[in-house]
Homo-oligomer: A and B are copies of this chain.
Amino acid sequence: MQSENPKAALIAALQKAVGASNLKVGGDVPEAALRDWSDEQGGVPLALATPRDTAAVAAVLKLCHEFSTPVVPQGGRSGLAGGAVPSEGAVLLSLAGLDSIEEIDTGSGLMVVGAGCVLQRIQEAAHEAGFFFPLDLGARGSCQIGGNIATNAGGNRVIRYGMTRDLVLGLEVVLADGTILSMMNRMPKNNAALDLKHLFIGSEGTLGVITGAVLKLHPGVGGANAALVAVPDFQAAAGLLRHAQRTLSGRTTAFELMWNDYYQAVLAETGQRAPVTRDHPIYALVEMQGADPDGDRPVFEGMLESAFEAGLISDAAVAQSQREVETFWSLRDGIAEILSRRAPTINFDVSVPLSRIGDCVEEIRAALAAAFPALQVIFFGHAGDSNIHLVAGPISEIDPTGHRIEKTVYEIIRTYGGSVSAEHGIGLHKKPWLAYSRSENELAMLRQMKASLDPKGILNPGKVL
């Protein structure tokens, strides 16, 4: 039968593998499964499978491997790089059915979860158990932990807690041929040979499908001290970061920079009150979470005072309550409103070595102003993690495809030894620029890994490489 109609045979076999109710075929595939948060356009998929356990995921992959049919793994589809959009004729493999929190081991400070668990549920479960799961991003209510791991998601508090990679103790992955590779390690220290999980963290579904994980939990947090400060220039901002890191003994949980263009824009677009005056070149949101924010306040304020005396700070507003901490964050989160007002925009997610961020921003600003005088650009980002976001747009009248603007920015990022993707990943969106941040030998090694782990090339084809 297979030789007569392989598609029909595959569909029949998939129905058997996952159960008919867990397979949508052709026009029954829901509209939402056809796109993610990027503007990337995909192909028409063959079907959408939503297996309910790891064995069923393995069965789907084994079948697709036999039939040499592409597989596109999907989590919450909140990625910004197009990593989850369908390939033509692919089987979409949703992990939403693997959504159980299997165990919270409070004695070991870890949680065992299925890949389909929504991030916010994990955050809440950790909190209820007296712990803190620090990964946090705007899509928390819909993104799934498997997708967070597959893209090595970043977020606001990487400076203190690391990327998603640093929160993963163990992993369960299904390989391209359906082999289940369980690496569900529960120990912070385990040097029994190479740590294979790193082959899959950040691989964007191209080397295996993540089905479960052991997550590291951090101690519970009582609240935060925070300040919005103005600094005279980037050198002062970098000096303030070092000063804060040292004085607070590494407890800085966020160090977000907002250049004046961003600060003006967010105040204008959101109508918020300015915590400090609008005439400074750069603003920093500095936060220190802790068990006892009231007890920590003298140290935090002392850090600000000595920074002021050292000329690292020109002006500062210190949050007087947890609510005011949130108000300061709303300035940073106001980017969402700017984006909707200025659409279509290009939203860059780049990183350069921290000490060079100031020069790099000025070089990009000058280059864009010279090439596109009418273009609005605002700069901000997780500077403590070397990550700058810049938003350019609206672009519709200036560079409708965005390609020339992107080239201008990425050419500069390349000269700084920077990355074209700090945290969003490559997906489809950044593929044209990957070689700006990776050498020929690195690209060759990436292709070699792909060939070794997915020799038929069925896993998320066309993404990343």
A residues with CB within 8 A of B: 105-110, 130, 151-152, 154, 158-159, 162-163, 165-166, 179-183, 185-196, 198-199, 201-203, 207, 218-221, 238, 242, 245-251, 289-292, 295-296, 299, 351-356, 382, 385-387, 417-426, 430, 434, 437-439, 441-442, 445-446, 448-449, 452, 464-465
Contacts of A417 in B (CB 8 A): 186
Q: How distant is the Cα of A202 from the Cα of B85 in the complex, in angstroms? A: 35
Inter-chain pairs besides A193-B202, A193-B464, A251-B251, 11 sampled, C-beta below 8 Å: A105-B355, A107-B242, A130-B246, A151-B191, A154-B189, A187-B354, A191-B202, A192-B419, A192-B430, A199-B449, A249-B289
Q: How distant is the Cα of A83 from the Cα of B129 in the complex, in angstroms? A: 42
Contacts of A426 in B (CB 8 A): 191-193
Which residue from B189, B193, B195 sits with its C-beta under 8 Å from A386?
A: B189
Can you show 28 pairs from A to B with CB atoms below 8 A apart?
Answer: A107-B355, A108-B356, A108-B386, A110-B353, A152-B195, A154-B189, A158-B189, A179-B441, A187-B352, A187-B385, A187-B418, A187-B422, A189-B351, A190-B351, A190-B419, A190-B421, A190-B437, A192-B434, A192-B437, A194-B202, A196-B445, A196-B446, A219-B246, A219-B249, A247-B291, A249-B291, A249-B296, A250-B251
Q: Which residue of B lies closest to A192 (CB)?
A: B437
Which residue from B163, B193, B295, B441 sits with its C-beta under 8 Å from A182?
A: B441
Which residue from B181, B182, B250, B422 sits with its C-beta under 8 Å from A191?
A: B422
Min CB gap A177→B, angstroms: 11
Contacts of A196 in B (CB 8 A): 442, 445-446, 449
Nearest 4 interchain pairs by C-beta? A107-B355, A198-B198, A192-B437, A187-B386
Which residue from B352, B452, B465 sits with its C-beta under 8 Å from A452?
A: B452
Please determine whether B194 and A207 come into contact, CB atoms closer than 8 angstroms: yes
Q: How distant is the Cα of A417 from the Cα of B182 in the complex, in angstroms? A: 12
